[in-house]
């Protein structure tokens, strides 16, 4: 396993932990898009549904379609969350950390695919196209996350405002 895949997976894990800590600490899921969470649940259910079956021909037909569907769905599942932030014009700091680590996970996976292509000869067009789309959707958010950094670092609890540009690229 290369370092980009490992750090991508750790970023994804960090995003999940941040989301769970936010919900546990505030005893609320305010600021989290329920639609995005439903889409992510559908992504991972469809992606790992093949673990429940060992019937090879069923896997080769239906499960491959489900994997492809989950890859494409994951690339746009963040849109409801970004729309919600854009609509309200603000987000809690912990929510922005959650979104940052989800985006970092995908960006690191792009580097992972480049690494795998050059060093392993592996190339998966479906995953690359979906990953590029997903990373592009995060680009404006990344820009705001970095430029409004004073709201994020050192546990500053203030809400992040100025998110009207979050969907400028969409």
pLDDT in tens, 7-51: 888 888 888 899 889 888 888 888 888 898 898 888 878 767 765
Quickly state the pLDDT bin for 152 (edges 50, 70, 90): very low
Quote the CA–CA distance of 100 and 63 in Å, as a whole number: 30
pLDDT in tens, 93-104: 888 888 899 889
Q: What ranges do the domains of the chain cover? A: 3-168
Q: In this structure, are residues 116 and 57 in contact, taking their beta carbons and an 8 Å threshold?
A: no
């Amino acid at each position: 396993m290369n370092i980009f895949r490992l750090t991508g997976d750790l970023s994804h894990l960090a995003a999940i932990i941040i989301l769970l800590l936010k919900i546990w600490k505030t005893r609320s899921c305010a600021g989290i898009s329920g639609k995005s969470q439903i889409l992510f649940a559908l992504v991972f259910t469809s992606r790992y549904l093949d673990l429940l079956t060992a019937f090879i021909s069923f896997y080769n037909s239906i499960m491959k379609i489900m994997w492809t569907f989950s890859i494409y769905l994951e690339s746009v599942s963040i849109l409801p969350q970004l729309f919600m932030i854009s609509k309200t014009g603000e987000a809690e700091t912990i929510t922005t950390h959650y979104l940052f680590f989800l985006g970092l996970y995908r960006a690191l996976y792009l580097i992972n695919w480049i690494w795998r292509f050059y060093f392993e000869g592996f190339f998966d067009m479906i995953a690359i196209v979906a990953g590029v789309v997903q990373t592009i959707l995060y680009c404006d958010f990344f820009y705001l996350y970095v430029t409004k950094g004073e709201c994020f670092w050192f546990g500053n609890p203030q809400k992040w405002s100025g998110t009207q540009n979050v969907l400028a690229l969409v």
